[in-house]
Amino acid sequence: MGYKDVYEGWKADPEAFWMAAAEGIDWVTPPTKALFDENAPLYEWFADGEVNTCWNAVDRHVAAGNGDRTAIIYDSPVTHTKHTITYAELQTRVASLAGALRAKGIEKGDRVIIYMPMVPEALEAMLACARLGAIHSVVFGGFAAHELAVRIDDAKPKAIIAASCGIEPGRIVHYKPLLDGAIEQAEHAPDFCVIFQREQEVAHLEDGRDFDWHAFQYGVEPAECVTVKGNDPLYILYTSGTTGQPKGVVRPNGGHLVALNWTMKNIYNVQPGDVYWAASDVGWVVGHSYICYAPLIYGCTTVVFEGKPVGTPDAGTFWRMIEEHQIKVLFTAPTAFRAIKREDPKGELVKSYDLSCLQSLFLAGERADPDTIEWAKATLGVPVIDHWWQTETGYAIAANPLGIEEMPVKIGSPSVAMPGWDVQILDEAGHPVAPGALGAIAVKLPLPPGTLPTLWNAEARFRKSYLDHFPGYYETGDAGYIDEDGYLYIMARTDDVINVAGHRLSTGAMEEVLAAHPDVAECAVIGVSDALKGQLPLGFLCLNAGVDRDHGEVTKEVVTSVRDQIGPVAAFKLAVVVDRLPKTRSGKILRGTMAKIADGETYKMPATIDDPAILDEIRSALEGAGYAKG
Ligand code: COA
Ligand code: AMP
């Protein structure tokens, strides 16, 4: 069956399609049906099935006689360490950690925050929570204490599991002081913390609150898998919205298992036992789905890489990894390839490695620019597949399903909608537009299994953010078009979210930090194009009347504040002082127009602009900062 048959088969009978896919999962009690639509437009999948995600990701492979198979390859050029963990070892380690968490009171439904770098223990912590039916929420290590505190107050975790430190090239990231700072800032206090002490930095443990990862497992009874309902949450993952308050995307157990398991063969075309490497971070959705869960659920070997595409030690690291670990599929963000290409434009380093094991390269997380795709294709000699998805969806909405049929690649397009996804382009009034016409990208409800059923403790925000604008549809927040052949093109965000090095960031959250500076009267943050990271944030500051300090000092201070409050991952390094911000007559700041000026693009003078002369002032401020080159 080709792609069209599979897609049409799903469309003709979604219930049968997903019930068949559900057979790939070990259920304690199989679901009686797939879709539960009693509360439409809120939907649930496999709600009456009973299951455990950790059993499916770990124990079932041991039970099937594959305990000796490698589950995790850990390769850490920043610490010069490598080791592997078999499925049987993983089962022992996870059951022990889960047992220790249970002994301290963690039960089904409790929340546990995980704040860890790219070490196998991060996956073990996620799986241990899944084993107990506890809901984990992983916070990316590049976020600072304040962001962690916001998530603590929203998720209200009973426990926090953290590492003593992370390692970035050239510096140690002191996780423990960040964690202590976050707990101090937060209103909610966890009952206890578990600290994985790394030899690069051993952290101080707070008596009575903090427990050592190894010591607290001593002598405990290993925990068995706890049965949960298909619609019980497996995890919450916070992602950027338009404000400083992140959105807690909820991921239920049942649909997630079914959908991720389906993608491994059908999209990525791998078999159990193959080595699958998602070069991302467990703090992001790509890391949740394709470093931790999907490869393990499907019985593949997954790779935990603690390093960067360049500089650890060089731009040949990815190729060394592929050869040494016999990697079949590599999945990363285009920015990683742009970084490699910048260091080794001719791809010379590839020649030193045998990459014959590599079957395909998948890219996602941001727009894949044609140059990068062409370069990767020419350098690696394998299909380079762009696919499009979001934290909310958990896996690809549009892709080239290599395990069903390799569709012709159209560069600039993440190809076609996957089964489960009825993707449509809508005009402002919510009417579908003709092929080729630009509009808001929306998905006809219900969304398929494994996607978000709601936001954590924020159903009204869920409805407002995703469902209300186009009744009957899920609003993706992306704009684009579909061509005559059904290929999708993702052009831009329709909100104030920007994408920096494949990381999704909120300009609204940065504006909140800038606005809190005592000298700042008004501000705006926009995303400007960047050759390496895709976009970079750039701030505009209007200072209070009477402020006669050096502007450079103020901009330095706001740069430091964003780093301290949001974290280094915001990559906020540039701010300019202007007298006024361009606005519409109703007072809306014209961020889109400012971004176009910064990128040297042509723009239409907005009809509603209050005072067109301000745009000239913005242009000269940007020129002074090295932007606005046409
Ligand atoms: N913990 C602490 N700090 C972190 C961090 C982490 N886990 N990850 C990144 N940071 C820091 C970086 O050290 C950097 O700090 P600096 O300002 O002191 O240099 C800052 O956050 C910005 O990070 P980033 O934008 O990632 O830039 P970089 O210079 O470290 O690396 C690339 C650039 C392109 C090599 C890198 O972004 C990359 O490999 N990206 C892959 C993208 C990816 O995995 N996306 C996930 C979705 S698929
Ligand atoms: P995140 O939730 O961090 O995965 O970010 C999701 C957003 O990243 C999407 O809404 C898009 O704006 C962007 N994105 C992800 N993948 C792609 C892609 N393949 N092409 C274009 N944009 C993408």
Q: Write down the pLDDT at residue 224.
A: 98
User: From atom 9 of ligand 2, which residue's Cα is the shortest distance away?
Assistant: 390
CA of 31 to the centre of ligand 2 (A): 32
Three-class SS state of 86: strand
Quick count: other Cβ atoms within 10 Å of Cβ 504? 18
Do the domain assignments include residue 59? no
Total domains, the chain? 2
Do the domain assignments include residue 606? yes
Helix (H) or strand (E) holding 17: helix 14-21
**Domain containing 159 — which CATH number?**
3.40.50.980
The secondary structure of 132-200 as a DSSP string is HT-EEEE--TTS-HHHHHHHHHHH--SEEEEES-EEETTEEE-HHHHHHHHHHH-SS--SEEEEE-BTT
Helix (H) or strand (E) holding 379: helix 370-380
Q: Give tens-digit pLDDT for 118-134.
A: 999 999 999 999 999 99
Residue with tokens 């190809």: 415
Encode burial over 536-571: b for 16+ CB neighbours within 10 A, e otherwise.
Answer: bbbbbbbbeeeeeeebeebbebbbebbbebbbbbbb
The two tokens of residue 470 are 């186009």
Three-class SS state of 126: helix
Mutating to test ligand 1, I would choose from 308, 366, 387, 499 the residue with most ligand atoms within 8 A of its C-beta, which is 308
Q: Write down the pLDDT at residue 538.
A: 97
Please indicate whether residue 398, judged by its CB atom, sits closer than 6 Å to ligand 1. no
CA of 457 to the centre of ligand 2 (A): 24
For the cut 80, the answer to whether the pLDDT of residue 201 exceeds it is yes
Nearest-angstrom CA–CA distance, 191 and 107? 13
User: From atom 19 of ligand 2, which residue's Cα is the shortest distance away?
Assistant: 388
**Domain containing 551 — which CATH number?**
3.30.300.30
Do the domain assignments include residue 18? no
The share of the chain scoring above pLDDT 70, in percent, equals: 100
Please indicate whether residue 138, judged by its CB atom, sits closer than 6 Å to ligand 1. no
Do the domain assignments include residue 51? no
Do the domain assignments include residue 438? no
- 592: nearest Cα among 502, 521, 510, 498: 498
Task: Give CA separation, 439 vs 467, 561, 595, in Å.
Answer: 16, 37, 20
Q: Give tens-digit pLDDT for 52-109.
A: 999 999 999 999 999 999 999 999 999 999 999 999 999 999 999 999 999 999 999 9
Nearest-angstrom CA–CA distance, 91 and 131? 10
Do the domain assignments include residue 331? no
Mean pLDDT of 177-184: 98
Taking a C-beta distance cutoff of 8 angstroms, is the pair 105, 268 a contact? no
Residue with tokens 């206890």: 192
Mutating to test ligand 2, I would choose from 247, 289, 388, 475 the residue with most ligand atoms within 8 A of its C-beta, which is 388
The residues, any chain, with a CB within 8 Å of residue 323's CB and separated by 6 or more, are 353, 354, 355, 357
CA distance between the termini of the chain: 49
Q: Write down the pLDDT at residue 244.
A: 82
Helix/strand/coil (H, E, C) string of 440-480?
EEEEECCCCCCCCCCECCCHHHHHHHHHCCCCCEEEEEEEE
Q: Give the model's confidence band at 5: pLDDT under 50 very low, under 70 low, under 90 confident, else very high.
A: very high
Supply the mean pLDDT for the chain: 97
The two tokens of residue 527 are 């995303």
Q: Write down the pLDDT at residue 243.
A: 81
Q: Write down the pLDDT at residue 586.
A: 87
Q: Give the model's confidence band at 630: pLDDT under 50 very low, under 70 low, under 90 confident, else very high.
A: low
Quick count: other Cβ atoms within 10 Å of Cβ 81? 12
Q: Of the ranges 208-212, 335-339, 396-400, 609-613, which one carries the lowest mean pLDDT score?
A: 609-613
The two tokens of residue 466 are 């995703």
User: From atom 5 of ligand 2, which residue's Cα is the shortest distance away?
Assistant: 390
The residues, any chain, with a CB within 8 Å of residue 124's CB and separated by 6 or more, are 90, 93, 94, 97
Listed residues 177, 209, 226: the one ending a domain? 226
Mean pLDDT of 571-587: 94
CA of 323 to the centre of ligand 1 (A): 24
Taking a C-beta distance cutoff of 8 angstroms, is the pair 147, 566 a contact? yes
Please indicate whether residue 190, judged by its CB atom, sits closer than 6 Å to ligand 1. no
Taking a C-beta distance cutoff of 8 angstroms, is the pair 343, 370 a contact? no
Q: Give tens-digit pLDDT for 11-60.
A: 999 999 999 999 999 999 999 999 999 999 999 999 999 999 999 999 99
Nearest-angstrom CA–CA distance, 571 and 537? 7
Nearest-angstrom CA–CA distance, 241 and 423? 22
The share of the chain scoring above pLDDT 90, in percent, equals: 95
Mean pLDDT of 345-363: 98
Structural domain for 201, as ranges: 87-226
Amino acid letter at 164?
Answer: S
For CA atoms 565, 567, 568, 570, the dihedral sign is: negative
Please indicate whether residue 78, judged by its CB atom, sits closer than 6 Å to ligand 1. no
The two tokens of residue 346 are 């001719």
Mean pLDDT of 598-626: 91
Please indicate whether residue 568, judged by its CB atom, sits closer than 6 Å to ligand 1. yes
Three-class SS state of 616: helix
Q: Give tens-digit pLDDT for 285-326.
A: 999 999 999 999 999 999 999 999 999 999 999 999 999 999
Mutating to test ligand 1, I would choose from 167, 168, 535 the residue with most ligand atoms within 8 A of its C-beta, which is 168
Q: Give tens-digit pLDDT for 466-494.
A: 999 999 999 999 999 999 999 999 999 99
Q: Give tens-digit pLDDT for 371-385.
A: 999 999 999 999 999
- 332: nearest Cα among 275, 369, 385: 385
Q: Give the model's confidence band at 348: pLDDT under 50 very low, under 70 low, under 90 confident, else very high.
A: very high
Nearest-angstrom CA–CA distance, 347 and 160? 43
The secondary structure of 245-304 as a DSSP string is S-EEEEEEHHHHHHHHHHHHHHTT---TT-EEEE-S-TTSHHHIIIIIIHHHHTT-EEEE
Mean pLDDT of 243-261: 96
User: From atom 41 of ligand 1, which residue's Cα is the shortest distance away?
Assistant: 336
What is the distance of C-alpha 502 from the center of its chain? 8
Listed residues 206, 226, 246: the one ending a domain? 226
Please indicate whether residue 534, judged by its CB atom, sits closer than 6 Å to ligand 1. no
Residue 241 has, within 13 A of its CA and on its CB side, a CA count of 17
Helix (H) or strand (E) holding 236: strand 233-239
- Ligand 2, CB within 6 Å, residue ranges: 239, 285, 364-368, 386-391, 414, 477-478, 490, 493, 499, 504
CA of 304 to the centre of ligand 1 (A): 16
CA of 333 to the centre of ligand 2 (A): 10
Backbone angles phi, psi at 58, to 5 degrees: -130, -70
Listed residues 192, 226, 260: the one ending a domain? 226
Do the domain assignments include residue 273? no
Question: Can you tell me which atom of ligand 1 is nearest the CA of 285?
Answer: 47
Do the domain assignments include residue 214? yes
